[in-house]
Amino acid sequence: MITLTDQPFDPGALLSDFCRDRTETGAVASFVGLARAELGAAAILELEAYPGFTEGEINRIAQEAVDRFSLDDFAVVHRVGQIAPGESIVFVATAATHRRAAFEACDFLMDYLKSRAPFWKKETGPDGARWIEPKPQDHADIARWET
Amino acid sequence: MARVLLFGRLSDVAGWRSRDIASDTLTALRDLLCGEDVHLAEALRAPGVQVALDQAIVRGDAALSPRSEVAFLPPMSGG
């Protein structure tokens, strides 16, 4: 399941829903990304997506994760629009028979989302606005999976 | 008429997000955009800018139809 939303979401409720009625899964891993205040430098974060294309690209990489890690299921919920510090930006959950696959698939999906998924992120604070682009660490993170 | 979409910093630089522009090829469209806005031209030449034609990434030139959707995509960052 892939969802883009401009409304705040409750990651705990999403995780409970994701875990419900699974009798053969065995392992669920999840990740929640939160908007940082950067000690007052970031008053608001604005996320732009390309409707249709963004969901399609995430789905393509999620299907790769399903094949690569033999996932039973996955969920990606991503905010768009304006996000206040402390709010959740992204929720990723992965379900597999055993924990290693669930952990690794979750890690893989987050590395992809940080530097390859079609989102554009603008941070606005007292000193003005700036677009945030992937850092060298983000590129190094995703390179780990490209062997 | 192709529908042209700008995302992220590109729409900030150009001052628009979506326009209908008559052009037969991607290269001609890009030349037209660069010719009318020197700041957008510079932003489009920046590293990591990709182009999607009808929601699929393309490299090099391509023919455009009147219903084509062309999106210019600066470096992406989610999460």
Is residue A63 within 8 Å of A106, Cβ to Cβ?
A: no
Architecture of the domain defined by B2-73: Roll (3.10)
| Residues in A 2-21 with any Cβ partner in B closer than 8 A | none
In this prediction, residue B65 has a pLDDT band, given cuts at 50, 70 and 90, of very high
Q: Identify the pLDDT of residue A43.
A: 87
Cα A138 from Cα A135, distance rounded (Å): 5
The C-alpha angle with vertex A97 and arms to A96 and A100, in degrees rounded to 5, equals 70
Contacts across the A-B interface (CB distance below 8 Å): 61
Cβ–Cβ gap B77/A78 under 8 Å: no
CA B24 to chain A, closest CA, distance in angstroms equals 23
pTM of the complete model beyond 0.90:
yes
Q: Identify the pLDDT of residue A42.
A: 78
Q: Identify the pLDDT of residue A40.
A: 81
In this prediction, residue A123 has a pLDDT band, given cuts at 50, 70 and 90, of very high
Cβ–Cβ gap A114/B79 under 8 Å: yes
Chain B residue nearest residue A31, CA to CA = B79
Residues of B in contact with A56 (CB under 8 A): 55
Cβ–Cβ gap B79/A120 under 8 Å: no
CA B31 to chain A, closest CA, distance in angstroms equals 23
Is residue B45 within 8 Å of B72, Cβ to Cβ?
A: no
Q: For B3-50, how does the pLDDT look when each residue is reduced to its tens digit (9 = 90+)?
A: 999 999 999 999 999 999 999 999 999 999 999 999 999 999 999 999
Locate the domains of chain A by residue range: 2-143
Average pLDDT in the A86-99 region?
97
A87 has a chain B CB within 8 A of its CB: no
Average pLDDT in the A18-28 region?
95
Least confident piece of the model among A16-25, A129-138, B10-19: A129-138
Pick the CATH number of A2-143 from 1.10.260.40, 3.40.50.1100, 3.90.1170.40, 3.40.190.10: 3.90.1170.40
Cα B72 from Cα B10, distance rounded (Å): 8
**Run of H or E residues at B51:** strand B50-53
| Residue A147 pLDDT greater than 80, yes or no | no
CA A23 to chain B, closest CA, distance in angstroms equals 30
Q: Identify the pLDDT of residue A96.
A: 98
A125 has a chain B CB within 8 A of its CB: no
Cβ–Cβ gap A120/B48 under 8 Å: no
Convert A40-62 to b/e letters by CB count within 10 Å (16 or more is b). Answer: eebeebebbbbeebbbebbeebb
**Cα→Cα distances A5→A124, B31, B35, Å:** 20, 36, 37
- Please list the residues that pair with B2 across neighbouring strands: B21
The C-alpha angle with vertex A78 and arms to A74 and A83, in degrees rounded to 5, equals 155
A34 has a chain B CB within 8 A of its CB: no
In this prediction, residue A41 has a pLDDT band, given cuts at 50, 70 and 90, of confident
Locate the domains of chain B by residue range: 2-73
In the three-class reduction of DSSP (H, G, I as helix; E, B as strand; rest coil), residue A26 is classed as: coil
